[in-house]
Amino acid sequence: MQFGDLSLKRCRYGWMVYPGPLSPGPFIGKCLELYGQYSEGEVALMRAFLHEGDTVIDVGANIGAFTVPMAQMVGDKGSVYAVESDPQTFNVLCANLALNGIRNTKPLNGFVATGEGAVAEVTNTTSGPVGNPSASAFLTLDSLELNACHFIKVDVDGGELEVFRSGEMQIERFRPILYFENELRDKSVELLRFVIDTLGYHLYFHPTPLFEPSNFFGNTVNHWAPTEFVSMMVLGVPAERKLSIGLKRITDPNDWWDFSVPVSSYFNLSH
């Protein structure tokens, strides 16, 4: 179904409105259009750590492709804070929450950083679509009134460090699982060093292919072939938690993705 430049389809986790093929930001919309899901490997990781009643923060929620399944995972007793800085994208996020009867999620149209100067720095130096801070409220994660926090997901195209700096007190208080994008090498060392040394986390590479053969629509054609297009995500576990993580450990802030090896080489490792 088409509504102007937006499409509507029944996808894996419910009805989703998404930008059509001519709209910017093609990956989420294209995946929903072709496969009825987006980066299911990320959803699988979230499912491994989230439980009914948990509290989640989703920074860079976009149109809700992850917000909706996370809200379903934590259930009516849980809560999700979904933050999206771009006003138009935020409207689509709210539409998807309404379409799927999601009542445990608080959508926030805001730009997350430690201060207005930091907002300007992030928007001037990142290469990706970080949103429109001039039309959004400024907020910090530490300003959220939380009674608990179990999981924080961050995907803001290079502004991940600012998000974590803005929530340092919440992270120290609740010690949630962190899950964040790390695809800009010039920002990676400072980001990883902060999370490892300042926040006290163990980090693991988690590359997730966009194409999955067993997708919701049963579409066996890889739109990106022969490229193995992946989301470059990192899992953060508090150092004090003794968990067995079957992923390649990041032992040094200078560690970077090895594009010469298959994605499978990052998994099923013992640490």
Tens digits of per-residue pLDDT, 33-55? 999 999 999 999 999 999 999 99
Task: Compute the Cα dihedral for 16, 19, 24, 26 and give only its sign.
Answer: positive
CB-based contacts of 251, cutoff 8 Å, min separation 6 = none
Least confident of 21-25, 104-108, 135-139: 21-25
Confidence class of residue 125 from pLDDT cuts 50, 70 and 90? very low
Average model confidence (pLDDT) across the chain: 90
CA distance 240 to 23: 44
Closest CA to 234 of 203, 211, 262, 261: 203
For the whole model, what pTM was predicted?
Answer: 0.92
CA distance 146 to 194: 23
β-pair type (230-238, 249-250)? unpaired
Enter the tokens of residue 137: 């409220």
In 12-146, the DSSP E strands lie at 14-19, 55-59, 79-83, 105-108, 110-112, 137-139
Q: Name the CATH superfamily housing domain 45-266.
A: Vaccinia Virus protein VP39 (3.40.50.150)
Enter the tokens of residue 256: 């970077």
pLDDT 10s digits, 49-98: 999 999 999 999 999 999 999 999 999 999 999 999 999 999 999 999 99
Report pLDDT for 128.
42
Closest CA to 104 of 83, 82, 74, 79: 79
pLDDT 10s digits, 202-225: 999 999 999 999 999 999 999 988
Confidence class of residue 2 from pLDDT cuts 50, 70 and 90? confident
